[in-house]
Chains A and B, each alone.
Chain A
Amino acid sequence: MAIESILIINKSGGLIYQRNFSESFASKLNSNDFLIIASTIHSVFAITSQITPKALQITQNNVDYVIPYIPMVGMENSNPQQNRNSNVPVKLGSYKGPDFFKEPFISWNKSGLRQLSTDQFTMYIYQTMTGLKFVALSSNVLSNNAGTTMTGSIDRTKAVNIASQVADNFLRKIYCLYGDYVMKDPFYSMEMPIKSELFDKAVKRMVNNLL
């Protein structure tokens, strides 16, 4: 899954971080366009929780919010071809071990927008408990249009679910980086745009590992 762009939206709907990792949007959209897109996503996110179908309100829904841990998403050692200096342990800021976390985790985003699939890209949204939103635009097109055969649809079930689970794992790691390089920066003022070179580099490295 190739990440084209990453956005971070603060709890009041303002865009605080946006980076493109390919040329596809860079030439067409300016920073003002991305501000509008971010606040639109924020407002749609708020509306989606209002239109839960009645059938789901009556029965207690059994949607599973536990996101399984998918090993080494976006980490240095994830790609064996790139594994040149495997003897040197990778430093993950204040996190120990080869990966940021090792357990499945619970999604805080229980009724908001999570994924938007279109003909050309897929957008994944991860929301934290504090209301911060991490958005990843991936150029992968997910077809949840499974074949009519039962076996085919089961395979695609897994494919669609795994893509959004990988995205949740990846965006949680970006959140870990945010905790390390943005929250521990004394010059950063809350809710303001992020201008941290270390954070930038760490995010870029993680996106490149994912290719």
Chain B
Amino acid sequence: MTIYSFWIFDRHCNCIYDREWTLLANPKSGTTNSKQNDDVSKLLYGIIFSLRSVTGKLSTDDTGRTNEISSISTGKFRIHTYCTATGLWFVLLTDFKPFNYNKVLQHIYSDIFVKYITNNYLSPYDFSENENEKRGQGTRKITNRHFMNNLESFLEPMISS
């Protein structure tokens, strides 16, 4: 299994965290919260948003349970998503080898994001502070040191193994 990049989107359609590994042999390589990835993050958001609306329409279950996307495969890579009820999307780009990435994303949410961002008075709980940042225009990112260090050390064994 190999992971290429990891993204978090908030409910205001903003990318609040991105991490891309460029050299898979070196887990320290790559970019974090890079301005260059802005366009990619918008395209990625658009793909998931469009496909979520398609799967929502094609839902065959009448019990009202939403039909969540578990993975999207393209010719070159696979996208795994984990969406929370509060509108946060955790997105992981990986290769084709199957592994329980949903559990990985769930762990990132419940044991890393909740622990170091939500339960942190000094970290904003909503990354859009004024109205004109709430329509996908925001540029604020997660810069919390503990969050970033813990995420790195958790994902490191998966980057190229």
Question: Which residue of A33, A115, A116, A117 has the most chain B CB atoms within 10 A of its CB atom?
Answer: A116
CA gap between A157 and B73 in the complex, in Å: 14
Given the known inter-chain contacts A29-B57, A51-B44, A53-B4, please indicate yes or no for A117 contacting B76, CB distance below 8 A: no
**Interface flag for B84 (CB, 8 Å):** no
Given the known inter-chain contacts A47-B43, A115-B73, A145-B103, please indicate yes or no for A53 contacting B57, CB distance below 8 A: no
In the complex, are the beta carbons of A145 and B102 less than 8 A apart? yes
**Interface flag for B96 (CB, 8 Å):** yes
In the complex, are the beta carbons of B68 and A41 less than 8 A apart? no
- Would you give the shortest CB distance from A205 to chain B, in whole angstroms? 24
CA gap between A33 and B60 in the complex, in Å: 14
Given the known inter-chain contacts A53-B4, A55-B4, A145-B102, please indicate yes or no for A48 contacting B74, CB distance below 8 A: yes
Chain B: interface size category: 35 or more
Nearest to B22 among chain A residues (CB) is A54
Given the known inter-chain contacts A63-B96, A121-B60, A137-B58, please indicate yes or no for A47 contacting B75, CB distance below 8 A: no
Given the known inter-chain contacts A25-B58, A47-B47, please indicate yes or no for A110 contacting B99, CB distance below 8 A: no
CA gap between A43 and B43 in the complex, in Å: 11
Residues of A within 8 A of B72 (CB): 48, 113, 115-117
CB < 8 Å: which of A40, A47, A139, A145 contacts B54? Answer: A40
Task: In the complex, identify which listed stretch (A76-84, A146-154, A181-189) lies at the interface while the others stay far away.
Answer: A146-154
- Would you give the shortest CB distance from B104 to chain A, in whole angstroms? 10
Given the known inter-chain contacts A47-B43, A47-B47, A146-B98, please indicate yes or no for A112 contacting B75, CB distance below 8 A: yes
CA gap between A33 and B58 in the complex, in Å: 10
Type the 1/0 row for A107-129, where 1 means its CB is closer than 8 Å to any CB of B: 10111111111111100000000
**Interface flag for A211 (CB, 8 Å):** no
**Interface flag for A31 (CB, 8 Å):** no
In the complex, are the beta carbons of A114 and B75 less than 8 A apart? yes
In the complex, are the beta carbons of A110 and B75 less than 8 A apart? yes
> Using a CB-CB cutoff of 8 Å, which residues 125-141 of chain A contact chain B?
137, 139
**Interface flag for A65 (CB, 8 Å):** yes
CB < 8 Å: which of B22, B65, B77 contacts A58? Answer: B22
In the complex, are the beta carbons of A109 and B77 less than 8 A apart? no
Given the known inter-chain contacts A55-B24, A153-B99, please indicate yes or no for A63 contacting B5, CB distance below 8 A: no
In the complex, are the beta carbons of B99 and A118 less than 8 A apart? no
**Interface flag for B153 (CB, 8 Å):** no
Residues of B within 8 A of A4 (CB): 60
Residues of A within 8 A of B76 (CB): 52, 56, 61, 63, 110-111
Q: Which 7 A-B pairs have the closest CB atoms?
A: A53-B4, A144-B98, A115-B73, A145-B100, A24-B60, A48-B74, A110-B75
Interface residues of A (CB under 8 A from B): 4, 24-25, 29, 33, 36-37, 40-41, 43-44, 47-56, 58-59, 61, 63, 65, 107, 109-121, 137, 139, 143-148, 153, 156-157, 160-161, 164
